[in-house]
Copies of this chain bind each other. A is one copy, B any other.
Amino acid sequence: MRKEELGESPVVITQDGSVGLVETRYYNFADPPDRFVLENGRELGPITVAYETYGELNKARDNVILIEHALTASSHAAGKNSPEDKNPGWWDVMIGPGKAVDTDKYFVICSNILGSCYGTTGPSSVNPETGKPYGASFPIVSIRDIVRVQYQLLKHLGIDNIRGIVGGSMGGMQAIEWALEYPDMVDSLLLIATAAKSSPQSIAIHKVGIQAIMDDPNWNSGNYYGSDIPEKGLSIARMLGHITYLSDGWLWEKFGRKQDDPVEIKSNLNSKFEIEKYLEYQGSKFVQRFDANSYIYIMRTLDLYDAGEGYPNLIESFKRIKTKKVLVVSYSSDWLYPSYQSHELAEALEANNIDVSYNEIDAPYGHDSFLIDYKKLNPLINSFLNSL
């Protein structure tokens, strides 16, 4: 297994270039009676997919890069949707003219995953059969289902070859599944802070979050649309999630034991440590932007993922892959998707004679390093894409 050789790259990577104003578009398919059959046999339709594209598709239609998002992100990966937007898309540091995923060269597509709440069909969408939101009657969807919906989008866009699929965390699982499900379409994978299957520890953490949402009286068996949302339960789930995205070391560095008031905190349960206020802030921000049922469903989608399922082991499963080159990146302080999981992944790929570059980046920020520490990640991605 090799490490990505950075050497003296002839390309200067910028972090400044922006794709500018972008519009989220929507593709509808699977209209009844031709509904979409899910991995578990249930049928769903119609389905809407929200997506954005950056850069231009070349004539040969062979410059496509697919961006796969993680648990709570959206199709809005780069640029701004309106001039008033305060923040650009969630991976704007990575995608743009002259950036690691260079939109002067590539046609970049990012779509919102099935089950989410940013324009793609999910539990908060209206079930045409009842005229009401699906809620907890929404079917459980798998990573494979998510990928098969993306395939429908690409078919609609007239694309049958993908130069590279870039995915961090849950996005990496989608990239793996693309290579397993559509082996002839995928030239390369860029798998960042991800795993071939969810660990029991991550399932356990999701369990606590799911239970907190379901125990919130406002959850009401998933039927809270149009009334008070289960914001307390959702906030608990998010606070816990947030702890797992960071690291012990980074929490020491960023918050330590800083407190509101060292005297007051000894006698008043409402006086807080700074880390507590930070978590409260993260929780309250999240409940304003994300649907509780989507959070439950997507955590479950993650729990259920196992790229080796149905095969004696991961190596056997990966025999289906025809992708020639894979970049695997993990982070030293990531304890949610620890490096050993990336290493297992890289080894199973290499055992199938795939050209794998495995790189562990030393970064203190935990799992979220892949969104934060782009200065170390960008050169790896740029170098890998240039080598294709």
Contacts and interface: CB of A to CB of B under 8 A. Distances in A.
Interface of A: 39-42, 136, 139-140, 142, 197-201, 203-205, 207-208, 211-212, 215-217, 232-233, 235-236, 239-240, 243, 248, 251-252, 255-257, 265-269, 273, 275-276, 279, 296, 300, 303-304, 306, 335, 338
A41 B266 CA distance: 10
Given A208-B236, A236-B211, A267-B42, A251 B136 contact: no
B248 A201 contact: yes
Contacts of A255: 200
A267 B140 contact: yes
A296 B216 CA distance: 19
Nearest to A266: B40
A215 B201 CA distance: 25
With most chain B CB atoms within 10 A of its CB, the pick from A142, A215, A306, A335 is: A215
Contacts of A140: 266-269
Contacts of A200: 248, 251-252, 255-257, 273, 275
Contacts of A136: 269
B275 A39 contact: no
B243 A201 contact: yes
Nearest to A276: B207
Contacts of A296: 269
Given A140-B269, A212-B236, 6 more contacts: A42-B267, A200-B273, A204-B275, A204-B276, A248-B335, A273-B303
A234 to B, nearest CB: 11
Closest 6 CB pairs of A and B: A200-B251, A40-B267, A40-B266, A215-B232, A207-B276, A200-B275
A140 B199 CA distance: 38
Chain A binding surface SS class: helix
A139 B211 contact: no
With most chain B CB atoms within 10 A of its CB, the pick from A197, A200, A251 is: A200
Contact of A267 (B139, B201, B275): B139
A203 B273 CA distance: 8
A143 B283 CA distance: 30
Given A212-B212, A236-B236, A266 B142 contact: yes
Nearest to A300: B269
Contacts of A203: 257, 273, 275-276
Contact of A207 (B212, B215, B279): B279
A231 to B, nearest CB: 10
17 contacts: A39-B266, A40-B266, A42-B267, A140-B267, A140-B268, A200-B248, A200-B252, A200-B255, A200-B256, A204-B243, A207-B275, A208-B208, A208-B239, A208-B240, A211-B235, A269-B296, A335-B335
Contacts of A198: 257
A235 B303 CA distance: 21
A151 B243 CA distance: 38
